[in-house]
C-alpha cells in the first residue's frame, strides 16, 4: 500500500482565514480524493483531485470554498477558504493505486476554527 502524509496534522484557525492542507504520496497513484469528517460523523467525499485539471466536486461542495490542486501524480492540496466554525472537521486525503480498487487514507488534518 502507498504511504501517505498530510500537513499540517492539526491547526487552530480564526474565522475568515484560509488554510491549505497538503497530501503527499510516496508513489504514483491513479486517483486522489479529499474527504471531510465532521465531529462524531462519518466521512463525506468533497472532491476527486484530477491531475493537471480542475477537481470534480460532489454535491454541496464548490471550488470557491474548497479549491484543490493536483500538479502531479503524487501531490495534492486542499484549501479551506473563508473559514467558519462549521468547517471544524478532520480532512483526509485518500489514494487509489494503479490496478487496485482499494482506497488508502492519510492520517488526516484536524482543523478547529474559532
Q: Is 50 near other proteins (CB under 8 A)?
A: no
Instruction: Indicate the DSSP class of residue 27.
Output: S
> CB of 30: closest distance to other proteins in angstroms?
8
Distance, CA of 33 to CA of 68 (rounded, Å): 10
Q: Indicate the DSSP class of residue 85.
A: G
31 binds other proteins (CB under 8 A): yes
Residue selected from 13, 43, 73, 112 as contacting other proteins according to rule CB under 8 A = 43
CA–CA dist 19, 87 (Å, integer): 11
**Residues contacting 84, CB < 8 A, separation 6+:** 15, 113
Among 20, 41, 82, 84, binds other proteins (CB under 8 A): 41
For residue 14, the surrounding DSSP H or E stretch is none
The closest of 70, 71, 67 to 81, measured between CA atoms, is: 67
Stretch that binds other proteins, among 14-22, 67-75, 81-89, 94-102 (CB under 8 A): 94-102
Q: Smallest gap, in angstroms, from Cβ of residue 32 to other proteins?
A: 10
Examine residue 57 and tell whether it contacts other proteins (CB under 8 A).
no
Give me the residues that bind other proteins (CB under 8 A), please.
1, 31, 33, 41-43, 45, 48, 92, 94, 96, 101-108
Amino acid at each position: 500500500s502507498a504511504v501517505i502524509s498530510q500537513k499540517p496534522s492539526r491547526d487552530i484557525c480564526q474565522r475568515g482565514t484560509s488554510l491549505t492542507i497538503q497530501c503527499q504520496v510516496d508513489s504514483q497513484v491513479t486517483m486522489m480524493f479529499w474527504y471531510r469528517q465532521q465531529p462524531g460523523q462519518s466521512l463525506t467525499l468533497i472532491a476527486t483531485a484530477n491531475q493537471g485539471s480542475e477537481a470534480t466536486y460532489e454535491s454541496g461542495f464548490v471550488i470557491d470554498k474548497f479549491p484543490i490542486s493536483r500538479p502531479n501524480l503524487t501531490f495534492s492540496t486542499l484549501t479551506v477558504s473563508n473559514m467558519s466554525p462549521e468547517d471544524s472537521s478532520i480532512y483526509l486525503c485518500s489514494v487509489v493505486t494503479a490496478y487496485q480498487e482499494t482506497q488508502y487514507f492519510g492520517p488526516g488534518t484536524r482543523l478547529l476554527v474559532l
